[in-house]
Chain A
């Protein structure tokens, strides 16, 4: 290289302080250093710097031949000087697509890119490439210098980052709870696999539509509170799956902030606690049952206590009427104990129906005498209006019998409690009305107000004070329901009550495949 070949590396401005290929540095690029003291005139000095650079340096002519290379280049690419760069660096037979050297020849600018080079010994080296034009005295780009910096370490870090991102994505996908990310517009931006499986796709839809099948936003929204306060919120929610199944979720919301600390979205994590809630409900039921039984026993004890007092004091004072009354009281309460125990057993053991043909006249014949006597003792008459030719229907005789007895005993109680009227009648009517057998039990006892009427089939609800456990009508309702039938009540305070039971003539029990009563409380198995 001679003075006449004066070349300048860098953008096309000969005096801008770039490095001249002959080794001259412009002083303005070295602050605080005298220009004269830093002038590099010794070519060997430049050569040393060139060679010692900890990267691959190569200079390419317009034909893409490598015309110069530093020591590291020569070490790894051997006798590449004079050969095509694409051959040396990549083992190719033609110019690489998007060649940065070519681009620099065209526009005189740096074209940074990432490349994978293959050394002479076949080792692949990921590099960051920078190109810079070399101008002649006229400002023409006559060559391009390429600098390749080894980015193996950066690549390794990138790989690790990628792996960790993948792990996080996998965690997000596979974690056994429901996760969604919503924006302030309540639209679900991300959702994990479990969420998508249970709630459908959901992404791009508003959360209240997906979680709750609502048309408008929820009244109280913990997610929006998190947007407003930036704090996490925990709450319990009843939501609906895509199939309409109700789930109880324990939900936590947490803010997702951008680099300025502004809450951009909110992540909602929901844990399915439906089974826990069901267990709790059952435990509550057991608690209520125990309370209800204790309450019932207290009532029975009061009755027995009273009966025994009357029997004893009647004997002492020689008052046979009082003894009779007292003894009846004892008998009544013993009957109540029996019926309460049966109710509890029925409730505790959710037995399957044993369906057979039931002849109502036959069943009532068995009950008639006992019922009539019990009613008469309390001053009420029971009339049965059941045609002999009514035919049979499908049902569990034991359950239907218990249900009938329960309704009739309720009516007897309603009459006993009524002191306004003197003549009390209970009428049991059966009628075959395809496709049902309709049985009604009507009394002219105390009757019920609306509130009582609406609650009578609820578990543990009793209008009888100490006398009731709140199990009888609940179980009657359950029996009818299990037969696929319905039970209705009409009642008015002071006038009386009528229960109307409809049972399909042909059995179509409303049981689920696992034998649990559809819509009713499951047996507690206690």
Chain B
């Protein structure tokens, strides 16, 4: 089975390095973009099986990118994981408001920073079907 590809969209080189090394260690092929505009080009070039998007990006936000991808003819179905540092701040009666907000706009999963690596791998594996061959 072909190696699954993950596109990381984050403006922080540290996060890109960290997640890049980690996902490569886990057997994924990784590419990155540091802003929404370059992410759209990377989709066509890299043809990822899943996309990890940070919420805060220079220029158009990760949220704008999310909505844009979901409206894209070719990439509307690509699995998207949103990374956010704000998840724990806005809660109402135990319901995660912000996560619900991103999910409604098309995120398949919302993960809080610092990233739980096991959860990320489990989710990516499920979303990309990476472990189906095993």
Residues of A in contact with B (beta carbons under 8 Å apart): 291, 294-295, 298-299, 301-303, 305-307, 309-310, 313, 317, 322, 325, 329, 332, 416-417, 419, 446, 449, 463, 465-467, 493
In the complex, the answer to whether A295 meets B14 with C-beta atoms within 8 Å is: no
Contacts A305-B114, A417-B34: A466 and B17 contacting too (C-beta < 8 A)? no
Q: Top 3 nearest A-B pairs by Cβ distance?
A: A306-B18, A465-B56, A466-B85
Query: Once the chains bind, are B13 and A417 in contact (CB under 8 Å)?
Result: yes
Q: Return the CB mask of B1-24 against A: 1 if under 8 Å, else 0.
A: 000000000011111011101100
> Does B58 have its Cβ within 8 Å of any Cβ on chain A?
yes
Q: How far is the CA of A302 from the CA of B88 in the complex (A)?
A: 15
Say yes or no: B56 contacts A466, CB within 8 Å: yes
Interface contact B17-A298, CB-CB below 8 Å: no
Residues of B in contact, count (CB < 8 Å): 26
B113 within 8 A of A: yes
Chain B interface residues (CB < 8 Å from chain A): 11-15, 17-19, 21-22, 25, 34, 54-59, 85-86, 88-89, 113-115, 117
Chain A residues near B86 (CB-CB < 8 A): 295
Select one of B17, B58, B114 contacting A310, CB under 8 A. Answer: B17
Given A298-B85, A310-B17, A417-B13, 18 other A-B contacts at CB below 8 A? A298-B114, A299-B85, A302-B18, A302-B114, A303-B14, A305-B114, A306-B15, A306-B19, A317-B25, A322-B21, A329-B18, A417-B58, A419-B13, A419-B34, A463-B58, A465-B55, A467-B12, A493-B59
Q: Contact: B12 with A417, CB < 8 Å?
A: yes
Inter-chain contact B89/A332, CB cutoff 8 Å = no
Partner of A302 from the list B13, B58, B59, B115 (CB cut-off 8 Å) is B115
Q: How far is the CB of B75 from chain A (nearest CB, A)?
A: 22
Shortest CB-to-CB span from B92 to chain A, Å, is 16
A299 touches B21 (CB 8 A): no
> Which of chain B's residues have a CB closer than 8 A to the CB of A310?
17-18, 21
In the bound complex, how far is the Cα of B25 from the Cα of A325, in angstroms?
16
User: Contact between B58 and A446 (Cβ–Cβ < 8 Å)?
Assistant: yes
A317 and B58 CA atoms in complex are apart in Å by: 34
- Measured between beta carbons, the chain B residues less than 8 angstroms from A317 are 25
**Known contacts A416-B13, A417-B12: does B21 contact A295 (CB below 8 Å)?**
no
